[in-house]
Every structure is written in structure tokens, then in C-alpha cells.
Amino acid sequence: MNPYQDLRSRHRTLATAALLGCAFLAVLDGTVVGTALPRIAQQVGGGGTWYVWLVTAYLLTSSVSVPVYGRFSDLYGRRRLLLGGLAVFLAGSTACALATTMPVLVASRAVQGLGAGALLTLGMALIRDLHPPSRPQGLIRMQTVLAAMTVLGMIGGPILGGLLADHAGWRWAFRLNLPLGLAAWLLIALVLPQCRPATAPTDRLDTAGVLLLTSGLGLVLIGLGLKGNASAGRWSDPAVGGCLLGGLALLAVLIPVERRAAVPVLPLRLFRNRTYSALLAAGFLFQVAAMPVGILLPLYFQHRRGYSATASGLLLLPLLIGMAVGNRLTAAAVTRGRQVRSVLLTGAALLTVGTAGLLTLGPSTPVPLTSVLLLLIGLGTGPAMGGLTMATQSCVPPADMGTATAGSALAKQLGGAFSLACAQSLLARSDTAIGLTVAWTGIPAALLAAGALLLVRDLAVATSNSRVAARGSRPSEQRGRV
């Protein structure tokens, strides 16, 4: 019996608010430190290497822990793991606020990221548990709010970090997590019931798989992070190439280990599902196409056009509006029985057209034209924000939903890291215009994402008001689509 089905409306609302708060904290803390870095380095000290690792440590541990949290939540339940992850996140935030040296601050950021890996992944999975496709209106609202919070965290984080550093002190970027996180922890502990899997695993923990997976992903992310740094060398640089090759080698060793594991941390059987594998590839490629837009367009507005930081943020509003609208329309279409593949293909087409338009971007490009292109890119990216996750969750058995959610999140994180590394290479090789860099990164990635989506079998999210049955499909066909 699922205890979430009979949850009181008030308790469902409070639990949902707490879960959304967890997801927002995870996104916000990934970006809030960026604009505060100069003030932190001035007050705490530390060379350039530590300076870079202050951001990298959080992103590294939050990323490599995602698949572990997702898989363990399927095996042992989500509530306790989320409470534990939130406790680790708050402990790391406290240590960051109290740190007096850069090495301690970097280590504290790593601890904070280790907890943050649970907040976003398990928060999204539990929101899906509380608002399944059988409750379509709730699912639409949740996807819309999640998208808005993600965008707000990505854009608002740097702004908040700068304001706090200038007026309240950079330590408040970490102190603010404590009251918000404690409130979320108490709400989850009090109103969210524990939902255990029907059968708990009796075999021992897949320790070798966990170590190989986290080490391999960690080295790959470190290599991409080093390449994405403005001072990085070529892909063949020993530090960059060594990390990438070492990480890929560990992931290759992981495959036979997982085949022999009784309860693998990475179930390879999921990758035999063509739709699941294609959706992960599409998520990776969507992020490759979209990430440079949000990172490089502010540089274009400030350095090439002379706008202030505040004005450049306002000029990105069409992108953010497009993301929010595209995500909401996707959730509404999918929960009303539309095929996920057609909606995502439409997004890939819009993303291709929008990034291709940036080929003409120059010092005299009219702002209205830039706004239209950003709106198209936002509308094209919106379907991938929630639609890909919904599709990935729907194409696997319910017992693997946490693993699927984690896989979707990790694919997007890897895509973002790879995209920034590629964009940096294009900018560093020659003084290429920002518009050309974004376009030559986005066009092939968006086209490849469309190609990956063509491999996705027709997939409809089953809802209480789905029109799939009305189309005359046989029950066996409907089951095969989900």
C-alpha cells in the first residue's frame, strides 16, 4: 500500500513545499558563491588553485553522489536518505560559515555538495511520488514551480551572492541555509510518511560499484572542470587528459563489476531499454546546446555592448520566460495524453533555430532581435527541463524511478560541464565571437538531440484524464508505451 495516496491535503502541501525548498537550496548553493569569490579570497586568502576549487568541490561531490542517492532510494526508501542528505548539507553550510582558511572552506563546500546531491534528486523523486501522473493538475503545477525555481536559482544565485558579499558579508550566503533547511527538515520529518520498497535487498552493499562509479565520474568532472577554466590548456594537457582518461577507464571497469553484482548500484539492464538510453543522451545534448547561452550572453551584453550587470540580467528575461512557458506547456501537453517524443522534438527544433540565429550576433545586433532569439532558445529548452525527467521516470518500472531521476539529472550535469569545456576551447583557440561560439556549440548538439529522440519509442505518460485510450489503442499497446 502506498501511504502517499491517502495523505491529507494539508500534509501533502506542506511536504511539497519542503521538498521544493530542498531542491531550491541545492540549485542556489551551486551558483551563489560565484560573485562572492573575490571578497572571499580577499578575506580568507588562498591562491588561484583554491579559488577555482571553491566552486568545483561543491559541483563535484553534488554530481557524483546523485546516482548513488537515486539507486539507494529505490532500494531502501527516500525519506530517510533525504533527511540524512539534508543534515549533511546543513552541517557543511555551518562549517562554511565558520571557516577561517581556504582549505577548510573548500573541504566544507565538498561536504555541503555531498548533501546537496540528495536534495535535488530525492526532492524531485518524492515530488513525483506525491504528485503522480494520476494527479495531472498537481503534476503540471509541480513541474512549473520546479522549472521556475531552477531558473531563479541559476540567475538569482549570483545576484544574491553579490548583494550579500557587498552588504552583509559572504558568510551569510551559507548562514541563510540554516533556518530554511531546518524548517524543511522538520516538515519532512513530521508530515511525510516513510514509504519502503515492497522487498528490501538482503545481499551486501555493492561497495566496489559505488567506489568505481563515484571515482570515475569524479575524475571526468574534474577533467571537464579544468578544461572549462579560462586558464586551461589543451584537451591533451596532462591534467585534463589524464583525469578524463582515468575516469573513463574506471567507468569501463565498472561494467563487468556491475554485471556480477547481486544488487548493482548502476543497473545495466536499464540501458538495454532503448528509450531510457536515448532520453539520457537527449538530456545530455540539450544541456550541451543550452548551457553556453546563459553563461556567455551576459558577457556579450556587458563586454561587447557596454550594458551593466543589472541590465544584462534583465536582457536575459526572454530566455527565462521561454524556459518557464515551454516547461509548463510541455507538462500540460504530456499529462493530457500527447506523445512525449513529439513535444521534445519540437523543443529541439526551436533550440536549433534559436542558436542558429546567434550566428549573426554582433556589436550592432538590434536588442529586439536578440530577445526573440533568446525567447526561441528558452521555449526550446523548456521541454527538456521537465519533459525529459517525466519521460525518463515513465519508461522504467516504478521500482527504478529514483535511479531514472538520478540518471536524468546526472546526464544534464555532465552535458553542462562538457558544453562549457567545448565553448572555452572555441573561445581560446581564436578570438571567436560569442555568438559564433554559442551557435557552433548549440546547432550540432540540438540536431543530435533530435536524432536521439527519434530513437525513443512512442511514450505517453498515463494519467487519469489521458486520451490515449480514446485513440483506440489496445490495452497491451498502452502498457508498452509507458
What pLDDT digit, counting tens, does each position of 360-402 carry? 888 888 889 999 999 999 999 888 877 788 788 778 887 888 8
Whether the predicted model's global pTM rises above the 0.85 cut: no
**Residue 78 and residue 405 in contact, taking contact as beta carbons nearer than 8 Å:** no
CA distance 463 to 136: 6
**Residue 265 and residue 68 in contact, taking contact as beta carbons nearer than 8 Å:** yes
For the chain, first and last CA: distance in Å? 21
Instruction: For residue range 162-216, list pLDDT tens digits in order.
Output: 677 667 777 888 888 899 999 999 999 998 887 776 666 656 677 888 889 889 9
CA distance 158 to 368: 25
**Residue 73 and residue 117 in contact, taking contact as beta carbons nearer than 8 Å:** no
Number of H helices, E strands in the chain: 19, 0
Q: For residue 459, is pLDDT > 70?
A: no
CA distance 451 to 436: 23
Instruction: For residue range 51-73, list pLDDT tens digits in order.
Output: 667 777 888 888 888 888 888 88
Per-residue pLDDT, averaged over 153-170, amounts to 70
Per-residue pLDDT, averaged over 21-32, amounts to 80
CA distance 235 to 429: 12
